[in-house]
Amino acid sequence: MFIQAENLSKIYGSGANQVTALHKANLEIASGEFLSIMGPSGSGKSTLLHLLSGLDFPTEGILSYDGQEIYKLRDRELSAFRRRRIGFIFQQFHLMPILTARENILMPLLLDKKQADSAYFDELTRILGIRDRLAHLPHELSGGQQQRVAIARALIAKPDIVFADEPTGNLDSKSGAEVMRMLKDIWQKMGRTLVVITHDYGIAQMAARKVVMKDGILSEGDQKGAKGE
């Protein structure tokens, strides 16, 4: 799956309160890439991720997946598209508190009335080290374990691409490093496209390709070697 963003801009508010969160971002993501988006807080990373994943609409610009313009889809088509082809991992985990880990992981399939591929479920939960935690509720799990359940949920429908927004932002450095190692392991074994947002230089360096955000402007490459437009 080939993703192409052209001149994506997002302006929030109006008049004196206007904020240009993203200014004319151009980005192409090829199938199977592991891309990190690094930048300080407020630089527009989440805005970019919301636009790239069809969670929000730009003020201007075009986004296509394999040539299909996403923002032209109807609401229902767009949500189905997101549910089937995109996996999301958030800083706050966003697990359902009354569901067990297993039920949380299987949730995206229920919504689509699909059966789990049990061999795939077993492999995912094994790589993520949560096989003995599946009957527990989220509050019975550590932060790192909750995020690993959320990662399994993001992957269970076999999406083409996974977007992670500061996946280690709520974790101590040890469990954060563990979560990133597992994500990278899954990327290597399963070959899905992975886009990770972070303000952590060390985490950004784990990715094969790095882009940097600063004041709403995206540039390709490392901080030092960043080339402008």
169 contacts ligand ADP (rule: CB under 6 A): no
In degrees, to the nearest 5, what angle opens at C-alpha 21 toward C-alphas 19 and 27? Answer: 155
| Binding partner selected for residue 47 from Mg ion, ligand ADP, none, CB under the kind-specific 5 to 8 Å limit | ligand ADP
**Other C-beta atoms lying within 10 Å of the C-beta of residue 68:** 10
Residue nearest Mg ion by beta-carbon distance:
46
Q: Which residue has the tokens 């955000």?
A: 213
Site stretch for ligand ADP (CB under 6 A), options 11-19, 28-36, 103-111, 117-125: 11-19
Cβ at position 120, least distance to Mg ion in Å = 30
> Whole-angstrom Cα distance, residue 56 to residue 75?
11
Q: Phi and psi of 22, rounded to 5°?
A: -145, 130
Residue 138 interacts with, from ligand ADP, Mg ion, none (CB under 5-8 Å by kind)? none
Instruction: Give me the least distance between CB of 7 and ligand ADP, in Å please.
Output: 17
Q: Which stretch binds Mg ion (CB under 5 A): 43-51, 74-82, 135-143, 180-188?
A: 43-51
Selected range binding ligand ADP among 13-21, 133-141, 168-176, 219-227, rule: CB under 6 A:
13-21
Q: Are 48 and 213 a contacting pair, CB within 8 Å?
A: yes
Report yes or no: 20 and 60 within 8 Å, Cβ to Cβ. Answer: no
Please, what is the minimum distance in Å from the beta carbon of residue 46 to Mg ion? 3
Rounded CA-CA distance 5/24 in Å is 9
93 contacts: CB under 8 Å, gap ≥ 6: 138, 143, 146, 147, 149, 150, 170
What x/- string results for residues 47 through 76 when contact with ligand ADP is judged by CB under 6 A?
x-----------------------------
Does residue 138 touch ligand ADP according to CB under 6 A?
Answer: no
CA distances 179 to 58, 140, 170, 197, Å, are: 31, 18, 11, 14
Kindly tell me which residue out of 25, 29, 38, 43 binds ligand ADP, with binding defined by CB under 6 A. 43
- Residue 143: CB minimum distance to ligand ADP, A: 20
Residues near ligand ADP, by CB under 6 A? 12-13, 19, 21, 39, 41-47
